[in-house]
Amino acid sequence: MNILRTWAMFIKELRHILRDPRSLMMALALPLFQLLLFGYALNLDVDRIATTIYDGDRSSASRDLIQAFESSRFFQVRAVVPEYSGVEQAINRSESLLGIVIPNDYSRQVAAGNRAEIQVIADGSDSNTASIALAYVETVIQNQSALVRIHAQQQHAGFTPTQPVEARMRVWYNDTLESKNFVVPGLVAIILMIIASLLTSLTIAREWETGTMEQLLSTSLRAADIILGKMGAFFLVGVMDTVLSVLVAVYVFDIPFRGSVVLLAATSCVFLCGAMFAGLLVSSVAESQLVAFQVGMVTSFLPGFLLSGFIYTIDNMPAPIQVITRAVPARYFVTIVRSIFQKGVGLEVLWLDVLFLLGFSLLAFVLSTVLLQRRMG
């Protein structure tokens, strides 16, 4: 590797990028478009659950229970139907996720101090959402039951009883419990992985297709010079994408940033180098730009979304899949970005993830250089 030859290759590739302003604007605009699209579309919050209620009792006690559901931000009472069949029809037509059935003896059982039964019907087509919704229903009913018990004891004993145990909950890192604070930082990492690998996966394959690689072979350039020069030019584009993505996350989505800007910048640069070297590795062995694009998508998009822990929790995956995820660099960068954004931790916690990214970058550089050298030879 020679610094002057690498610099010459860098200037040549940079001029090629600047000579095509439409592709440059697309490389800068596409990450922003994806971030805005997925950032608003990927909402994992389960709230405003469509609910239909059948009140068979029609008493003040049943109206208090209905009011408890209406006043909760987790439920949206679409209708209080006059017949039980209305609940079934609402769920069958996907107009409601939940059905609450209050029996006709509800107020009498409550007044007698007996256990009143309430039927809850949930659409289990989406099992995860249904489970969360049922947990919300249980919480509302328990709170309402506690209020009824306290009111009854107050009437009989003449004083307000106190709870023997008081739980004080504190939520760390995401006190508002908004899914965007979890999704958007991970989305930044995934988009950078896709864009970085796609930017470089076409460059060497394009040289072979257009016949300009033969001209490079006639010079004193070596494989390492070509790899580093091309990576350096596209690295500048990747840095701009990173800066824009972080600014959108902080100022558009209002994601709290608690960590070190320097650490985020340093780890992003390491990750960008690894992702771009991986793209160059694909481009070094691909026969055409079409093949390079397809392989680049398969090796960046699918592992990034499915195996990085971005959406699906890795601990819930089968054991063999968990082992495979350890070879996905996006998994470690997603952890780094989320930890810096939400927890504000430093290298004392993230050093192992950073070390893996460094190793991945070095390995991708060596493999891409060796394979390109063999093809050039």
- What tokens appear for 95 in the block? 């107009």
The pLDDT assigned to 126 comes to: 79
| Selection from 117, 123, 136 nearest residue 57 by Cα | 117
Higher pLDDT, 209 or 279: 279
Q: How confident is the model at residue 265 (pLDDT cuts 50, 70, 90)?
A: very high
Higher pLDDT, 153 or 239: 239
Q: β-pairing, 98-102 with 119-122? A: antiparallel
Angle of the 289-306 helix axis to the 203-210 helix axis, nearest 10: 170
pLDDT at 60 over 70: yes
Distances (CA, A) of 209 to 201, 227, 348, 358: 13, 17, 47, 32
Round the average pLDDT of the chain to a whole number and report it.
Answer: 83
Q: Which domains does the chain have, with CATH numbers?
A: 3-43+178-376 (no CATH), 49-157 (3.40.1710.10)
pLDDT digits (tens, 9 = 90+) for 88-119: 889 888 888 999 998 888 888 877 777 888 88
| Selection from 359, 32, 14 nearest residue 195 by Cα | 32
- Percentage of the chain lying above the pLDDT 90 cut: 12
Burial annotation 291-329 (CB, 10 A radius, 16+ → b, else e)? ebbebbeebbbebbbebbbbeeebeebeeeeeeebeebb
- What tokens appear for 70 in the block? 């209406």
Q: Note whether 55 and 28 are within 8 A (CB).
A: no
Question: Residue 17 is which amino acid?
Answer: I
Q: Note whether 286 and 197 are within 8 A (CB).
A: no
The span from the first CA to the last CA of the chain, in angstroms, equals: 16
The pLDDT assigned to 18 comes to: 81
pLDDT at 151 over 80: no
Between CA 210 and CA 202 the distance in angstroms is 12
Between CA 45 and CA 191 the distance in angstroms is 22
Q: Under 8 Å CB-to-CB from 206, ≥6 apart: which residues?
A: 289
The pLDDT assigned to 116 comes to: 81
pLDDT at 214 over 70: no
Name the DSSP class of 178. -
Between CA 316 and CA 328 the distance in angstroms is 17
Higher pLDDT, 165 or 42: 42
How many CB atoms sit inside 10 A of residue 148's CB?
A: 17
Determine the average pLDDT of the residues in 26-51: 82
Distances (CA, A) of 272 to 197, 260, 261, 264, 290: 9, 18, 16, 12, 23
Between CA 365 and CA 277 the distance in angstroms is 5
- What tokens appear for 185 in the block? 């930082």
